[in-house]
Amino acid sequence: MVQRWAVAALLRAEKKFKRVKGYREILKLTAALQQKSIDRQEVAA
């Protein structure tokens, strides 16, 4: 649910900025978030 809110906020804010500082690191961030999500699913199972 938090991830959904974060994505909604980013999509809304996207219209107001042209470039995000650290935009080159977004792929690393995405990979880290996916790994964290997988880790939580394993713990829940």
pTM as predicted: 0.44
CA 41 to chain centre: 17
Q: Supply the DSSP string of 1-45, one letter for each residue.
A: -HHHHHHHHHHHHHTT-S--TTGGGHHHHHHHHHHHHHHHHHHH-
pLDDT digits (tens, 9 = 90+) for 15-43: 887 777 888 889 999 999 999 888 777 77
- Into how many domains does the chain fold? 1
For residue 30, being part of any structural domain is answered with: yes
pLDDT of the residue at 34:
92
For residue 15, being part of any structural domain is answered with: no
Please give the backbone phi and psi of residue 19, each rounded to the nearest 5 degrees, phi first: -150, 135
Tokens standing for residue 43: 């713990």
For residue 40, being part of any structural domain is answered with: yes
For residue 37, being part of any structural domain is answered with: yes
Domain that holds residue 28: 20-45
